Structure 1
Amino acid sequence: MNFRTRHREDPEINLIPFIDVLLVILIFVMLTTTYAKFTELKINLPVANAQSTKPRPKELVVVVTADGRYSVDNRQVEGRSVELLAAALTASTGANRDTVIVLTADASATHQSVINVMDAARRAGLSQLTFATQGQMGAAAQP
């Protein structure tokens, strides 16, 4: 007969299978997750709450209507080409190249109409351009 006392070892939890399962789940999650590129491009557009500034002495207002007609300093431009618009800008500014163009475009105006004004300003040698916006209360504001 064997009367020796046996030493019982405390039971231990084997963590290796648990870690293996977690690694498989981690790999599965990494492979099935979709990363949207557009989340990087989220922007918040600023609200134009600025109060209207005083007219500057070297300021030229160019208006673009919804149907694509142009007006330079309250004078209608006869035509819609970039060349005619550049000629009207040159005639209104003369030799003064420090004139700031305030572009007031209708919300329904085409993008091409606005680009035409910018191109005409470049051809006329005018490099300072700003956009007029409408405030929340409906008053016109300029940056």
Structure 2
Amino acid sequence: MISPFHLAIPVTDLKASALFYGEHVGCGQGRSSKQWIDWDFYGHQLVTHLVDRMPQGEAANQVDNKSVPVPHFGLVLPKADWEALALRLEQAGYNFHIAPYIRFQGEVGEQGTFFLFDPSGNALEFKYFEDMTQLFAS
């Protein structure tokens, strides 16, 4: 069994976060208060904590000639779920920071990936591996 992770992130607007994580990303809502909301992030606990302003210090790394935001978090999903999520986010009008594309096509480690920012500016990456046994291959 894979142990679920717990991740707490800052957000500046709980209503906008609820729309993004609840309706568009498809997370079930758990406990909440006026200051935070727990989310079922595909079996993991994600907590959005209300803050007055976002922390500063975002950077980027170049990967495949694309500017990958650091820090970022996200999930590795089954391919069909990844495709459905990308379509749902596109149809909801979200702009991808890095549009869905395939890395290492036809090679060991082939994967689909995309990046976007939540309404508060947290960077997220969602990906799938054509062969999940290659997730931690070196």
Q: The TM-score by the shorter chain falls in which range? A: under 0.3
Q: Which has the higher contact order (CA 8 A, sep 6+)?
A: 1
TM-score by length of 2: 0.21
Which structure would you say has the larger Rg?
1
Higher strand share: 2
TM-score by length of 1: 0.21
Higher helix share: 1
